[in-house]
Structure 1
């Protein structure tokens, strides 16, 4: 159907999809700077981490299911549904607590947590469908330059989210009579989402899948959710309260393991599996997803631990620590767009993937060897280098996978790459948090014991709250931090970055096993055409 679309219509469809994706990415960070005011208004300090966790759990666990649905139903229909779900969730979040306690939902904080989960239901679809729809609109030989914009969307949202959240929270009260500023953090999605929906309704074609008539395997979907939800929750639990060896954490992980094993067994016998395991026989799919999993962890490790170094070693404010991530985000935007453009022009993606890995490793090496008296400006330069190296990982691994699979499996294959990136980040950052905590406990036991949430507060200010394992505890930091604490954090974070280097190096090594295949000039089933 896309053959009947003009280039202008394709670009307008792309604009709507990217705008919707931007909203989903923005809501991963925009809420963080509003959390202190939300907690104050709704009296929910004991549940503030769940505002982020509810969105993260929903937006991660449902990605594979949306990918399967995209292989069964028209993409346009699904995109409209997920945008509407996201907007309903946004409106409900803005109304949380306005009418006092509600039956079944509880007080305002409970309402907000539940409504954030509804937002996440839509957010999962926004992430998964964006790459799938771009694949429908443009053949692989042209797709790189358009998928490069997805990296720009994530980079821009990570910069704008905390800033916009703080602006609306601090100065938005009074913009709408009787509406607190933090509620605008959610209401701002409504006009932008309506604009995205207009683009989709007006310009997006139906994009019907090639194989229809099959029913979703509901048992497999249930088993997948029963496996992924407790897994992500276990990773997000405050390890100061629920350590890895606690009965609750071990119980969640055990339950997740059993459910995921049953999901695999069910999928192997299903006529219409949510994830066709035959995809793992494809060397591109297999190697690229290993790399994506590892690099997803390296990416989140980068953005989470730098603010802790800034606050607790350099002694800067939490706000200035958040600002320090801007060069990294701009680097991601630059690397993503540049790599996408070059691949579309010259047709070779593997060189750029490997080259980006070298740049990333160089930047991480600089971060891992930072002295305690390193200048703020020098850290910004190191982060920019890392961002440029990370940029090609956003569009190119997904492009390689899409180019290597047949269109009937495009939704499953594409959503799998997004899922492995997200779950890789969740798992590895939880483990990196353990490395940090153990190192601090050895270097300065009192620091580890007092740690239960100060780093979470730092992360909330810097915009990285959703991804931060709650065990990343620290003293409040700042200019008055003692030399002993500064040295302990410097040592611990250097050790963390050594682990991140190992992850990135393994991801780079896995990239060598991704075969370089000519990019198809069409989206038809069959052997790929040689591009360029």
Structure 2
């Protein structure tokens, strides 16, 4: 349990860092004079943390889990410290000005952050057998939901009130420095309480060429998805070049992996029906989740005319629902031993919540939107622990790291792709619904997804613009519903396997239909 506490604390830091920076960005941009590059502060972290997830999974199958976790936390803390120091010493050789330094150091943070997420699920799989694992993996959803609530609030508080707490240190730098004491506490628990958790097989040399091909495939892919399509459209040469490099590198990666005796991702896993169908569902559901996170605040600001702060606070019920749904589903699965019914039940609840969001009138009350978001959160909660649990239960222990990290990767890459598509849907619908003279100038909305157009303050309250944004966001939620329906269909094909009572032994056979 002490080991569990340490890795949950580390995961909390990685999750917190995805949201805590957003409210500090206006002050950061002002101090570092980097308005033209502000979206890259979020993008650099996302690109690095997405691209490294499969590599962490492979390393976890080759070396001590404790060593990999310590390395991930250490890299994350070094990145946090460097982010806090960005611009303190003026322009630096090779690193550029303060804003460029921050972007580079955020990428370093992301290199560590990728391991905080992937290793948490892998280590939990080592600590607890599948029959008991659900209740503990449910904590990961609770951690994610809690950090989503605390992140924007803590970022704003430290930025506004933190200046002076440490002499000569601006408040926004504390947004990064706050990771240091918590991270060191997590390291202490991991180093002193966690067993080495070494794989049973002898470690083999990592295929560095495959790792390079994977990185040169994923980095430009995520960058192309994150580009503001109002500036770099899909047909823009820069976007096409990134996508071309990504496609070529990923094709070469797959080709090498199929012929290498120690691949980073064993493609034989895709012959496993649980692995194949559960990851397909996660790919779609990752997009649906991010779609709610990105576009619901736009509705609050541009349709209801609320402040950005109140729009951010409105996500608290969603996070509370995720916490409740994740914990409840984990406990029920550990108690009764069936995971598929809870997956399906959660998705049906999510579909109900999204249907309500997709039909919101322009004059809907703030409280009713919060209720709809709570329903969506309860439905999303079981998707956090149960798909990963199903995958881990269905594969050989020697491939645990690769299989677990793959589930995290497909969720993240699905979110990035869907966010880009949903942003295009929003922009296209806005162009349909507003005259050119009334259309707002595109402005970036800082989030985990790409920049999408937002109305200028005040202009969003005109009837034409309110109606246009309402229609556009409703259409976004309709696409989200399609993603969840796709996830539901894939979940129907996930075999129901009895949960193993030990971490050893053969892969279980499917439960008979009569059960």
TM-score, length basis structure 1: 0.95
Q: How does 1:418-437 map to 2 (within 5 A)?
A: 418-437=408-427
SS of the aligned residue for 1:446 comes to coil
- Answer yes or no: is 1:67 the counterpart of 2:57: yes
Q: Hey, what does 2:88 align to over in structure 1?
A: 98
Q: Hey, what does 1:334 align to over in structure 2?
A: 324
Q: Hey, what does 1:259 align to over in structure 2?
A: 249
Q: Distance in 1 between matches of 2:32 and 2:300?
A: 31
Q: Hey, what does 1:504 align to over in structure 2?
A: 484
Q: Distance in 2 between matches of 1:477 and 1:391?
A: 34
Q: Distance in 1 between matches of 2:454 and 2:331?
A: 42
- The question of whether the paired residues in 1 share the 8 Å contact of 2:270 and 2:276 is answered with yes
- Answer yes or no: is 1:516 the counterpart of 2:496: yes
The partner residue of 1:82 within 69, 72, 88 is 72
Q: Distance in 1 between matches of 2:351 and 2:327?
A: 20
The Cα offsets for residues 99-132 of structure 1, whole Å up to 9 and x where unpaired, read as 1111110111111000000000000011110000
SS of the aligned residue for 1:516 comes to coil
Q: How does 1:261-280 map to 2 (within 5 A)?
A: 261-280=251-270
- The question of whether the paired residues in 2 share the 8 Å contact of 1:315 and 1:479 is answered with no
- The question of whether the paired residues in 1 share the 8 Å contact of 2:426 and 2:473 is answered with yes
- Answer yes or no: is 1:232 the counterpart of 2:222: yes
SS of the aligned residue for 2:303 comes to helix
Shift, 1:469, TM fit: 1.3
The Cα offsets for residues 279-307 of structure 1, whole Å up to 9 and x where unpaired, read as 00000000000000000000000111111
The partner residue of 2:43 within 29, 53, 70 is 53
Structure 2 gap ranges (5+) = none
Q: Distance in 1 between matches of 2:387 and 2:437?
A: 40
Q: Hey, what does 1:20 align to over in structure 2?
A: 10
Q: Hey, what does 1:388 align to over in structure 2?
A: 378
Q: Hey, what does 1:5 align to over in structure 2?
A: none
SS of the aligned residue for 2:2 comes to helix
Structure 1 gap ranges (5+) = 1-10
- Answer yes or no: is 1:494 the counterpart of 2:484: no
Q: Distance in 2 between matches of 1:480 and 1:255?
A: 39
- The question of whether the paired residues in 2 share the 8 Å contact of 1:21 and 1:130 is answered with yes
The Cα offsets for residues 134-154 of structure 1, whole Å up to 9 and x where unpaired, read as 000000000000000000011
- The question of whether the paired residues in 2 share the 8 Å contact of 1:311 and 1:478 is answered with no
- After alignment, is 439-448 or 262-271 more displaced? 439-448
- The question of whether the paired residues in 1 share the 8 Å contact of 2:497 and 2:509 is answered with no
Shift, 1:452, TM fit: 2.1
The Cα offsets for residues 303-349 of structure 1, whole Å up to 9 and x where unpaired, read as 11111011111111111111110000000000000000000000000
- The question of whether the paired residues in 2 share the 8 Å contact of 1:441 and 1:447 is answered with no
The Cα offsets for residues 360-405 of structure 1, whole Å up to 9 and x where unpaired, read as 0000000001111111100000000000000000000000000000
Q: Hey, what does 2:28 align to over in structure 1?
A: 38
Shift, 1:450, TM fit: 3.7
Q: Distance in 2 between matches of 1:357 and 1:477?
A: 35
Q: Distance in 2 between matches of 1:315 and 1:447?
A: 20
Shift, 1:214, TM fit: 1.1
Q: Distance in 2 between matches of 1:527 and 1:42?
A: 54
The partner residue of 1:468 within 449, 469, 472 is 449
SS of the aligned residue for 2:251 comes to helix
- Runs of 4+ in structure 1 deviating by more than 3 angstroms, as ranges, are 447-451, 477-480, 527-531
- The question of whether the paired residues in 1 share the 8 Å contact of 2:495 and 2:510 is answered with no
Q: Hey, what does 2:391 align to over in structure 1?
A: 401
- The question of whether the paired residues in 2 share the 8 Å contact of 1:60 and 1:124 is answered with yes
Shift, 1:527, TM fit: 4.0
- After alignment, is 475-484 or 399-408 more displaced? 475-484
SS of the aligned residue for 2:428 comes to helix
- The question of whether the paired residues in 2 share the 8 Å contact of 1:142 and 1:344 is answered with yes
Q: Hey, what does 2:213 align to over in structure 1?
A: 223
Shift, 1:446, TM fit: 2.7
- Answer yes or no: is 1:438 the counterpart of 2:438: no
- The question of whether the paired residues in 2 share the 8 Å contact of 1:18 and 1:153 is answered with yes
CA RMSD in angstroms comes to: 1.5
SS of the aligned residue for 1:315 comes to coil
Q: Distance in 1 between matches of 2:307 and 2:90?
A: 36
Residues 480 and 39 of structure 1: is their aligned pair in 2 closer, same or farther, counting only changes over 3 Å?
A: same
- The question of whether the paired residues in 1 share the 8 Å contact of 2:393 and 2:507 is answered with no
Shift, 1:529, TM fit: 9.4
Q: Distance in 1 between matches of 2:510 and 2:37?
A: 54
Shift, 1:480, TM fit: 6.2
The partner residue of 1:195 within 185, 197, 207 is 185
The partner residue of 1:368 within 354, 358, 362 is 358
Shift, 1:510, TM fit: 0.6
